Amino acid sequence: MTYRLESRSVEALRGLDMEIEGPGFFAIMGRSGSGKTTLLHLLGALDKPDSGTIEVAGTRVHELDEKGAVTYRRRTVGVVFQGFNLIPTMTAVQNVELPGLLAGEDPSSIRPRAMELLDSLGLADRASHRPESMSGGEQQRVAICRALLAGPPVLLADEPTGNLDSRTSEQLWQLLARVAQEHETTVAMVTHEPEAAAHCQRVFLVHDGRCVDAFDTGGMNASGVAARAGRALG
């Protein structure tokens, strides 16, 4: 995957080869500029690769046209961003319902699903609140509910705790692990934090646009993950 930056080309990914077998909670870990966010955007059909193949849950993502990419994002992948991206004038439940409404679903069938998701993540009592009256952790949980509304087999999370304090981050990592288990979802989280990766069952290390190592955490703590990453990333 190559980008144009002013008068030069920047190769964000170069021959990256990776296979994630879900469901489960997985980390894509690397330093800033390593290509991990570009990879997430390709998996989510937010960008199109220059070459190579991408297959997610049986869909050959690299072959999708614009219409196919929209359908894929609605049905196959949910995406959670660092910045929450909630609509400020909408309540929590309205934010969760939004993807279903945009897809043309019957509003009467969407509300029960949205409320069930909010309840499962401990937000039933915040359903009528707008983002401005919720904490950062609550807003990110609403964003996760929104991403799960269509019941996608894959959830992509791009540095989901980047705007949260350490205590709330810890709670969110535990929550994503629970989502992977209870919803039988493949959760792929981009992160540069060993503390985050330690909550995942498997870690993929990305450096200079390539996957240079992958390992099962097997109960590793953050120090163990950091040591393994340090050896691989240099």
Predicted pLDDT of residue 32:
86
Residues in the chain: 234
- Of 3 and 61, more confident: 61
Give the model confidence (pLDDT) of 109-167 as tens digits.
999 999 999 999 999 999 999 999 999 999 999 999 999 999 999 999 999 998 999 99
Three-state SS sequence of 49-104: CCCCCCEECCEEHHHCCHHHHHHHHHHCEEEECCCCCCCCCCCHHHHHHHHHHHCC
**Ramachandran assignment for 208, one of left (phi > 0), alpha (psi -120 to 50 degrees), beta (any other):** left
Q: Are 112 and 147 in contact (CB under 8 A)?
A: no
Predicted pLDDT of residue 33:
85
Predicted pLDDT of residue 24:
97
Band (pLDDT 50/70/90 cuts) for residue 11 is: low
Predicted pLDDT of residue 200:
97
Give the model confidence (pLDDT) of 186-227 as tens digits.
999 999 999 999 999 999 999 999 999 999 999 899 999 999
Architecture of domain 13-76+152-234: 3-Layer(aba) Sandwich (3.40)
Name every residue whose Cβ is closer than 8 Å to that of residue 146 and which is 6 or more positions away in sequence.
78, 86, 95, 96, 98, 99
Tokens of 53: 């193949």
- Of 20 and 4, more confident: 20
Give the model confidence (pLDDT) of 174-187 as tens digits.
999 999 999 999 99
Band (pLDDT 50/70/90 cuts) for residue 12 is: low
Predicted pLDDT of residue 15:
79
Give the model confidence (pLDDT) of 14-60 as tens digits.
878 999 998 999 999 998 888 898 999 999 999 988 888 999 999 99
Residue extents of the structural domains in the chain: 13-76+152-234, 86-151
